[in-house]
Structure 1
Amino acid sequence: MPKPMSRQAQYHLRLAALLLGVMLFLLPYRHFTPPDDLLEAVRERDFLSVHTRNTPTTYYEGRHGPTGFEYELMRRFADHLEVSLTLDASHHIMSVIDTVRREGDLGAATLPLDPTLEGLIFSRAMFDLQPVLVYRRGLPPVKSPEGLAGLEIGTIRGSGADQALRELQAEFPELGWRESPEVEVAELLSRVESGNLDAAVVYDHQFRINRIFFPGVERGFPIGEPLSMAWAFPALGGLRLQQEANRFLEQLQHEGVLDDLVERHFGHDDYLEYVGARVFIAHLHERLPDYTALFREAARNTGFDWKLLAALGYQESHWDPEATSPTGVRGLMMLTLPTAGEMGVDDRLDPAQSIDGGARYLRHIKDRLPDSIQGEDRLFMAMAAYNVGLGHLYDARRITEQLYGDPDRWKDVREALPLLQKREWHSQTRHGYARGGEPVIYVRNIRRYYEILTYVDRSQQQYLQLNDLNGEAADDDGLLFDIVPPIR
């Protein structure tokens, strides 16, 4: 029979249980105070904890999973450290800053480099942030600070754009505005377009990414000097993680990877005019629903994203099944008579046949390209050939080689295509003259249309009524925004 436990042993057992309970209770808060050597802590626990925001310029769920400019950098940095990546994207910009001071390893949320913020240290700069004033189309053009008098202006507190306004207010004391850390750029632009605000101050790259969704918003003028985007680290975590991030970013800059990421995410030119954007959005709601099922079926049969096929169809005909060009191409996917025959299309004006035939023709072109062309480059060149023909595309690839470019990269080939319009170049080619500038614009427009369709599809609730946003968000301006009054 076991010997009864002594009173002293029972006391020690209860004390141990109590201590264990306290330890378990505190376990979730073990990172409340950053360790002295954050880099070593990251490697020991085998993951990098990042606080961020869910925005199209930072981090979001794309068609192939998580993406965004800073997300790609975070993921590459975690790979560089040989650890996994964990994200908390539930923040607004100021809560990122507050949380990084206390826990987590870094903040990546389009943060302006601000060495005056207590409790934080920043990485080297990775991207310029230019504040810009945008205003509602239809107002008198606002091209200078003098035009801001009497306008209702909004911005995001803590973004750096608000600081640009404060600096401008020192010169123009009559300037006032509304600010909140809890709004995002798309919300500001929607309020400007709907009339709940007259203008907003955001960053130029944010406006370029979002402007196509808000064709009623016009670019005004830049405010102040550019700021620098950087990552934030807790000052209490030591310098080693920040120093390692700086080495990582410097290496990406040296290899050209950082510039490529900037170009891929923010390098779109303003090539879609506002009128074209309004027409596209109207057609998206009025015409596309009649053909969505056909695009989806064609996508299943050919392996393309249905939204890409829809974007190509819009570029070809504006989703008009009876479209006819002076050169004789017809139908929603604008097939030539020989191409229609090759694809077995009997009636080019039948939307089902046209969409199916166009999708199979794009697949046919893509499969014929050299194996050395991979990834998105292969898709972009297939789309260019859909427009200009494979022969002219191959001619452009040869010119690319003559110019010491890479004929397997669309970025280089698109520079060579317009040269097919010049005699000194097309006289050397097999297929001769072509309006080589057109496929460059063609691919560029399809990519942009595809982005819009993808964005709308991903954010259906927010963008379902791009031209008819409801006014519910505007009714709570007093709760959402803090008012910064004029100082005179």
Structure 2
Amino acid sequence: MSRRRSNPLARWHLSRISAIRPPWGGVAWLGVLALALSGCHHRPVLNALQKVEKRGVLRVITRNNPTTYYQGPAGPEGPEYDLVHRFAAELGVKLRLIVPDSFNEILPMIAVGKADLAAAGLTVTPRRERYVRFTPPYQIVTAQVVYRVGHPRPRDVQGLIGGRLMVVAGSSYIERLKALKMRYPRLKWEATTDFSSEDLLGLVSEQEINYTIADSNAVALDRRFYPELRVAFNFSKPSGLAWAFPRTRDESLYRVAAAFIERMQKSGVLAQILERYYGHIASLGYVGTKRFMQDIKTRLPTYRKLFEEAGTKTGIDWKLLAAIGYQESHWDPHAVSPTGVRGLMMLTLDTADHIGVDNRVNPEQSILGGARYFKQIEKKIPTRIPQPVRTWMALAAYNLGFGHLEDTRILTQERGGNPDSWVDVKRNLPLLSQKRWYRKTRNGYARGMEAAHYVSNIRTYFDILTRVESKQPPAPALPPVRVESVASGLP
């Protein structure tokens, strides 16, 4: 039988206890020691979830870009922000966002517990799973190689050799590039900590570099602002984006988060969040985007003040009014449709009479009249429907008529959908042009698919105007910031 070795640290503690033994009797001393040890033994140890609840703050590492978190006109926005904001609300705590200097810092920070979780558009990879624990994915994306139109299109990895390829340091693309270099020894790339994926897409558009690699959601968003960008080929198979947690034995917070993600998927809330940020991005093509960017410079200055004044009078963002005006007439005050609507905001004669417009081709009257009409429609939308869904439904009604919007919402409910969800209503709008469905409605036939495209186009025009007006690069290089917000009043 082997003899148990004594613990040197334990011997040191015993010697210290002996050295500080008080002058009173041994029995009394043993009683005090037993009481102290008993107190230490029963001291509660908080798990990760309890620590967050006690702290009252959920600390989240994220990134500052269009696919995760950014400061919008009304405050913090972004797909990751909306989702993690809801999670903090369910926990009943505040949300603290931590934005590191570079993407390369995110995984090391979460691996050593610098925050409770990372919600930063992180792709799940086997290598990363060795260091962090991922939730079920909330979005599926594909890494894409991007180049600029007018330059030779690389058809595969071989085509990248000889060009300047730059990617974000620490990204999942680096792992695959290193593996590919075994097959293509001449393949070279630059890994940067100074630029984000959005910055690199801008550099490709400006012809500073030849290629970059970015996730498909980021590429789709930024092609609205850089219409010259093209996808050369997919660099990866579809992969999941997920939240990351420290890989420790304590899974209490992770399990709650994983259940939350699955619940958001089943309830349809996740689909609504993704619709808000991605549901309209494929509506404009290269020619349409180029023309709009040009018209912002040449046509908008003539009418901008009128849009701003109408916005002030009605409480509507002037950029939304400008987006409606562009969708209606391309900012042409003399536009006329085959159905008789005319003017910059393309008002019908009945609508013009209703809102007091006597000259539809007068830009000032048309813009203010259109703004007032839109406001009237928006007020009819049930107050329980939050923004920005109220605006999207009001836009559909502006195009279709309020009665047709209500018909669609009724059809949506009858078919098991949520009449207050734009995701579900948009899906059912095309039914208004199908006899088997519109014959059941009060207002009959309507071009519902056209209304869905109408809303998508205006959302895209609004996003572009907002970007242009910000007078900032697509992905501003911000210093590390902390943003605190009480997780209530959720979008």
Aligned to 1:462, the other structure's residue is in SS state: coil
Give the C-alpha shift of residue 215 in structure 1: 0.5
Q: What is the letter of the counterpart of residue 268 of structure 2?
A: G
Q: Deviations over 1:142-187 (max 9, x none)?
A: 3433433332222112121222333333343332222213311221
Provide the residue aligned with 2:224 in structure 1: 212
Provide the residue aligned with 1:110 in structure 2: 121
Aligned to 2:95, the other structure's residue is in SS state: strand
Q: TM-score, normalised by structure 1?
A: 0.80
Per mean C-alpha deviation after superposition, the further-off stretch among 388-397 and 91-100 is 388-397
Instruction: Work out which of the residue numbers 406, 409, 420 in structure 1 matches 2:418.
Output: 406
Q: What is the letter of the counterpart of residue 301 of structure 2?
A: P
Contact persistence 2:400–2:451 (CA under 8 A): yes
The question of 1:437 aligning with 2:449 is answered yes
**Residues in 2 aligned to 1:394 and 1:50: alpha-carbon distance in whole angstroms:** 40
Instruction: Work out which of the residue numbers 292, 298, 311 in structure 2 matches 1:286.
Output: 298
Contact persistence 1:52–1:91 (CA under 8 A): no
**Residues in 2 aligned to 1:229 and 1:319: alpha-carbon distance in whole angstroms:** 40
Provide the residue aligned with 2:29 in structure 1: none
Give the C-alpha shift of residue 282 in structure 1: 1.4
Aligned ranges 1:306-345 → 2 under 5 Å: 306-345=318-357
Instruction: Work out which of the residue numbers 134, 147, 152 in structure 2 matches 1:123.
Output: 134
Instruction: Work out which of the residue numbers 292, 300, 312 in structure 1 matches 2:312.
Output: 300
Q: Deviations over 1:172-223 (max 9, x none)?
A: 3332222213311221111111111122110001111111010010112111
Segments of 5+ residues of structure 2 without an aligned counterpart are 1-44, 478-491
**Residues in 2 aligned to 1:369 and 1:259: alpha-carbon distance in whole angstroms:** 21
Contact persistence 1:135–1:220 (CA under 8 A): yes
Provide the residue aligned with 2:107 in structure 1: 97
Aligned to 1:432, the other structure's residue is in SS state: coil
Aligned ranges 1:152-163 → 2 under 5 Å: 152-163=164-175
Per mean C-alpha deviation after superposition, the further-off stretch among 117-126 and 172-181 is 117-126
Q: TM-score, normalised by structure 2?
A: 0.80
**Residues in 2 aligned to 1:220 and 1:203: alpha-carbon distance in whole angstroms:** 13
Contact persistence 2:307–2:322 (CA under 8 A): yes
Contact persistence 1:208–1:268 (CA under 8 A): no
Give the C-alpha shift of residue 272 in structure 1: 0.7
Q: Deviations over 1:220-266 (max 9, x none)?
A: 21112233323333446843333332233233333333333233333
Provide the residue aligned with 1:86 in structure 2: 96
**Residues in 1 aligned to 2:339 and 2:106: alpha-carbon distance in whole angstroms:** 56
Give the C-alpha shift of residue 449 in structure 1: 1.2
The question of 1:63 aligning with 2:73 is answered yes
Q: Deviations over 1:407-430 (max 9, x none)?
A: 443333333332332333334444
Q: What is the letter of the counterpart of residue 461 of structure 1?
A: Q
Contact persistence 2:280–2:457 (CA under 8 A): no
Q: What is the letter of the counterpart of residue 61 of structure 1?
A: Q
The question of 1:54 aligning with 2:64 is answered yes
**Residues in 2 aligned to 1:129 and 1:432: alpha-carbon distance in whole angstroms:** 39
Instruction: Work out which of the residue numbers 190, 213, 219 in structure 2 matches 1:178.
Output: 190
Query: Percent sequence identity over matched residues?
Result: 43
Q: Deviations over 1:348-400 (max 9, x none)?
A: 22221111000011112223445665544432222122212233333334433
Contact persistence 2:408–2:425 (CA under 8 A): yes
Contact persistence 2:245–2:254 (CA under 8 A): yes
Which gives a bigger RCO, structure 1 or 2 (Cα 8 Å, sep 6+)? 2
**Residues in 2 aligned to 1:146 and 1:119: alpha-carbon distance in whole angstroms:** 31
Contact persistence 2:198–2:474 (CA under 8 A): no
Larger radius of gyration: 2
Per mean C-alpha deviation after superposition, the further-off stretch among 358-367 and 264-273 is 264-273
Provide the residue aligned with 1:233 in structure 2: 245
Q: 1:199 to 1:333 in 2, by over 3 A?
A: same
Segments of 5+ residues of structure 1 without an aligned counterpart are 1-34, 465-472, 474-488
Aligned ranges 1:406-485 → 2 under 5 Å: 406-457=418-469, 459-462=470-473
Provide the residue aligned with 1:23 in structure 2: none
Contact persistence 1:115–1:121 (CA under 8 A): no
**Residues in 1 aligned to 2:202 and 2:353: alpha-carbon distance in whole angstroms:** 47
Per mean C-alpha deviation after superposition, the further-off stretch among 391-400 and 73-82 is 391-400
**Residues in 1 aligned to 2:422 and 2:241: alpha-carbon distance in whole angstroms:** 29
**Residues in 2 aligned to 1:218 and 1:60: alpha-carbon distance in whole angstroms:** 25
Give the C-alpha shift of residue 72 in structure 1: 1.9
Provide the residue aligned with 1:24 in structure 2: none
**Residues in 1 aligned to 2:382 and 2:254: alpha-carbon distance in whole angstroms:** 43
Provide the residue aligned with 2:20 in structure 1: none
Contact persistence 1:38–1:241 (CA under 8 A): yes
RMSD (Å), alpha carbons = 2.7
Aligned ranges 1:351-390 → 2 under 5 Å: 351-369=363-381, 375-390=387-402
**Residues in 2 aligned to 1:154 and 1:456: alpha-carbon distance in whole angstroms:** 25
